[in-house]
Structures are given as C-alpha cells and as structure tokens.
Amino acid sequence: MILASSKPFPGPMPPSNSPPLLSMQPLGPASQTNTTESANQNSAVTDKSSASPKLTSAGPPEREKPRLTEQEKKNNHIASEQKRRAAIREGFDRLTELVPGLAGQGRSEGMVLRKTVDFIRVKLQERQELIEEIEKRGGTVDGRARNIVENT
C-alpha cells in the first residue's frame, strides 16, 4: 500500500531485502526522528561560498558520541605508535631467542635481520640435503615439502 502524503515516514526505515551499506538508525532510543527527514533538511542548507550543498546538523542527538579533541587524537596516535614499536621490539627479541648466536648480546635490528636470513638459508640448504638423501635411499618426498625448498 502506498500512502500519498507529504509527511515523512514517522518511524525507523522499513526493512529491505538487501543489507544496509550505512546504518541510518538514530544513535539512541530517545531520538525518534526520521533520518531521511534529517538528511533532506540538511542537504537543503548550502554554503554561500560554494555551489555544492553542505550538510549541517539542526542539533546534536542526545546520545551522540563526543568528538575527540586534538590533544586526545595526538595521545591516541602516540599510544598506537608505542604499541606498534613494542610489537616490533618483541618480534626482534623473539628472533634473538630463536637464531643461534644472537642470545644475550647487544644487537642492532639490521644485524638481527642479517643473521636471521643467514640462519634460514642454512636451514633451507640442510632441508634440501635431507630431501636428496631421502631420494637417494629410494624414498619419496611430498610435493609440498619439496616446493618449500625449490621456491626460495
């Protein structure tokens, strides 16, 4: 049934068969205004210095999440960067535990990476030699195990 009315739909948007790309529901239960009505009102407001429409808010919804201040953004960025650096440091610490010759000494990240690459090359060479020994004795090696060595 189609209603011929100039009034906007009074409640939340009716369900559709496809998933919504954006949630158009109000943030809190106290706010029951139709988001389509708000969007229509907002898109009608234009900036005189620009030909394109600008969206403005008639007023903040009661439960709108407050925007972060510049200092809060800066603090969040610093905390994220510290977390990232700690994860990198932990990774290098783990490499020093796994790669022979790195444990218990002062290290640069470049040296840890060089020694890790050398260690992996030695292990791949040992693996290749084991595959050749198995085949020399009449055994077979799974294709996946062989590919690991051949693709490096």
111, 105 contact by CB (below 8 A): no
Tell me, what DSSP letter sits at residue 15? P
Tell me which residue range forms the domain holding 101. Answer: 70-150
Model-wide pTM > 0.85 = no
Which residue has tokens 């620009």? 50
In a domain, 16, yes or no: no
For 128, the token pair is 């290749």
Sign of the dihedral defined by the CA atoms of residues 12, 17, 19, 21, in that order: negative
For 83-128, the pLDDT digits (tens) are 999 999 999 999 999 999 898 777 789 999 999 999 999 999 999 9
CATH number reported for the structural domain that contains residue 144 in this entry: 4.10.280.10
In a domain, 87, yes or no: yes
Count up the domains in the chain and report the number: 1
In a domain, 36, yes or no: no
In a domain, 74, yes or no: yes
Distance CA 24, CA 37 (A): 11
In a domain, 79, yes or no: yes
